[in-house]
Amino acid sequence: MGQLNVCWSFRRLLVMGLAGWSLAGPVVLGQDFSSLQAGATLPLGGRTVTVKRLDVLPCVESEFTRRFRFDSIRNPKLRQLRERYELDTVVAPGRGEFEQQVLLLDWVHHRFKKFGSPTSDARGALEILQAIDAGHTFFCSHYAHVFVSAAASMGWIDRELALRRHQDPPQGGSSEHAVTEIWSNQYRKWIMMDPTAHMYIEKEGTPLNAYEIRQEWFYHAGRELVFVVGKERKKYRKADLPIFLERFEGFGDLTVPADELDKYGFIGYIPNTDLMDAGLDYGQMFIVKDKLCEGTRWHERTVPANPAVDPYFPINQAALRLVSEQDQLRVVLQTLTPNFLSYGARVDGGLWRPVGESFRWSLHEGSNRLDVRTVNQSRVEGPISAVEVLVTTGRASAGPEACPFFPFCIDWHDAKKRSFEQQAQMLKELGYPGVGHIWLDKVEERIRTLDAAGLRLFQITMAVEVAPGKTPYDANRFREVCAAIRGRGVQFCLLLNGMKPSDPTVDPHAVDILRAMSDQARDSGTQLLLYPHQASWVERIEDAIRVADQVDRSNVGVMFNLCHWLRVDRSRDYRPLLQRAMPRLWAVSLNGADEFDEKPGWDRYIQPLDKGSFNVGQLLRTLKELGYRGPIGLQCYGIGGDAREHLARSLAAWQKLRENLKN
């Protein structure tokens, strides 16, 4: 019997805090593992370090991660399973990890020779496989048992799921099913794998987890789902159901029936993989369900508050934190890796070398890249975390200057109707570091003119349609713009439109859209910010936080917009909202404004920064106290006259506010 001895690296870190906004002494860049962001800067021994790109999975510790118990690779039963059935040979033809996992899935499916009511009480993969050879009959849960342990023997993490229909079919038939979810280092996510059908399900080429499948099936009629079957990876659509799998003597045809995905109404997550020794831990199981399941009785268990996120914590990651130490950076790592062995790192594309959970990164002038990954005791490599920084001569500004201040919406109401080139020259003369751009057109021209003036493009505002059945955005143009701004640390400010403000029933559809955008934007090193806007679907900062948490991507955050908050929230108590937003608060916009305005329009809620009764200084002090260090945009929409005049006044007011914060 194998002694359960799961080796985790789930280390708690000594967090070195920020002294206000000052960068004196050791400084952590960002508030937590998910908050490092492109564009952040810090001083380093007389030089300035700017984060240009960051691609890191967070390390999550929660009620649900703590439930899980993983099989130990030192369990002799796993080695026996791998060697007796020559599983290395089974997966050898695979050209990558996911293809190898599909080959193992196909092998498990074809090991079973009789399907139906079990004729053996065999427990665990080894006993079940022996009973198959003895002529016994098994059903779906046994397929899942074997696949979970076979994957564990190869160093992969696969977990069993119990499924149950949301409503019993009137014609009778099976209401439950067992499938699994495997962690894919290649795709950096959990992926549903059904060994009974040797099938996984994808959308737009990306394999889905069980919850994603559920939401697509029940709320989008499964229109975009693709059923991928067997090692040949034959693809079927909903219209092709039922899918014939094979014929079993005494049972008949095994198929994927037309209503198969109705079984995803309830999803039970069984939090242990040591099935050859302990069996399924139903006591610690937690269940996802919603209003579709009302009236149907099943197990009573904990229901995660955020079903798109809580069960889907990453594993095998190398989450990192950067700390300044004189003229070097210290990299501090954290992971949730079952059977953890070591970390590895490479600098500037060089050789991989073993590192500890904390090590120094020596930087040179110009661009620097660091890649970090985990390795488990089966020598399986985790997903790569990547960070790129630019090192330049000269100190970064300390204190409030660390929050760059730039204007946006400056061209629509400028009486002088300046060209992009003229705007860039004006901003340089006034002393602004850059500007924000509106919509996806003419981005390349904006970049050229800013580059010529030595200025930075901070943000691009774009609209996204979240109404089902409508095209969300121009994906081709978005891809082109991402390529144009690659490595510049630009943020996209997303106006999410098309549905009733704050309507949570739209969340699943919007989350799918935003995850697709996150994938498109990842390689460019950009961030996607949910931009609360009066009368938009995301109207309040609370909406932005709720949706961003469900999207749960390292490049998706939120923005706080003073003028829109003033319009939709009469409480004037912004501190608790900002505190909630902090882990994902990556931009703030402000302007001069009056405390209240009962009239429609924006002339009282959007003014130059030196006007209005609202206490902007107190808002900035609150942001400082909360540790906010991101960019601050100056909202200029609707301010008429010569843009140079009001921009000069606002910059002078900003400088006074900044000086006041030092006191």
Q: Are residues 45 and 77 located together in one domain of the fold?
A: no
Q: Residue 45 region, left (φ>0) first, then alpha (ψ -120 to 50), else beta?
A: left
Q: Are residues 516 and 568 located together in one domain of the fold?
A: yes
CA 41/CA 44 separation, integer angstroms: 10
CA 179/CA 196 separation, integer angstroms: 8
Q: How many domains does the chain have?
A: 3
Q: Is residue 541 situated within a structural domain?
A: yes
Q: Is residue 26 situated within a structural domain?
A: no
Q: Mind listing the pLDDT tens digit for each residue in 420-462?
A: 999 999 999 999 999 999 999 999 999 999 989 989 999 999 9
Residue 263 in tokens: 């079984």
Q: How many CA atoms are closer than 13 Å to the CA of 82, on its beta-carbon side?
A: 17
Q: Which residues of 208-222 are buried (b: 16+ CB within 10 A; e: fewer)?
A: bbbbbbbbbbbbbeb
Q: Are residues 596 and 615 located together in one domain of the fold?
A: yes
Indicate if the alpha-carbon torsion angle 134, 135, 136, 141 is positive or negative.
positive
Q: Is residue 298 situated within a structural domain?
A: yes
Write down the pLDDT at residue 31: 32
Q: Are residues 410 and 388 located together in one domain of the fold?
A: no
Q: Are 29 and 103 in contact (CB under 8 A)?
A: no
Q: Are residues 209 and 356 located together in one domain of the fold?
A: no
- What's the CATH number where 530 sits? 3.20.20.150
Cα Rg for the chain, rounded, in angstroms?
27
The one-character DSSP state at 220 is S
pLDDT bucket at 13, cuts 50 / 70 / 90 = very low
Q: Are residues 236 and 254 located together in one domain of the fold?
A: yes
Q: Mind listing the pLDDT tens digit for each residue in 98-122?
A: 999 999 999 999 999 999 999 999 9
Pick the more confident residue, 192 or 51. Answer: 192
Q: Mind listing the pLDDT tens digit for each residue in 566-607?
A: 999 989 999 999 999 988 999 999 999 999 998 888 999 999
> 312, 347, 366: which is the final residue of a domain?
312
> 312, 334, 363: which is the final residue of a domain?
312
Q: Are residues 579 and 605 located together in one domain of the fold?
A: yes
> 393, 426, 450: which is the final residue of a domain?
393
CB neighbourhood size of 56 (10 A): 22
Q: Is residue 592 situated within a structural domain?
A: yes
Q: Quick one: 460 exposed, middle or buried, by C-beta within 10 A (0-12, 13-18, 19+)?
A: buried
CA 316/CA 618 separation, integer angstroms: 42
CB neighbourhood size of 516 (10 A): 17
- What's the CATH number where 371 sits? 2.60.40.10
CA 404/CA 68 separation, integer angstroms: 43
Q: Is residue 27 situated within a structural domain?
A: no
Q: Which range marks the domain in which residue 279 is found?
A: 65-312
Q: Which CA distances in Å does 39 have to 61, 554, 587?
A: 27, 15, 11
Q: Are residues 511 and 585 located together in one domain of the fold?
A: yes
Q: Are residues 264 and 380 located together in one domain of the fold?
A: no
Q: Is residue 22 situated within a structural domain?
A: no
Q: Are residues 324 and 296 located together in one domain of the fold?
A: no
Q: Which stretch of DSSP H or E encloses residue 144?
A: helix 140-153
Write down the pLDDT at residue 38: 61
pLDDT, average across residues 80-89: 98
Q: Mind listing the pLDDT tens digit for each residue in 33-77?
A: 334 566 677 778 778 888 877 788 889 889 999 999 999 999 999
The one-character DSSP state at 30 is S
The one-character DSSP state at 22 is B
Q: Mind listing the pLDDT tens digit for each residue in 455-510?
A: 999 999 999 999 999 999 999 899 999 989 987 889 999 999 999 999 999 999 99
Q: Percentage of the chain surpassing pLDDT 90?
A: 75
Q: Are residues 221 and 340 located together in one domain of the fold?
A: no
Q: Are residues 241 and 386 located together in one domain of the fold?
A: no
Write down the pLDDT at residue 489: 86
Q: Is residue 5 situated within a structural domain?
A: no
Q: Is residue 160 situated within a structural domain?
A: yes
CA 24/CA 18 separation, integer angstroms: 9
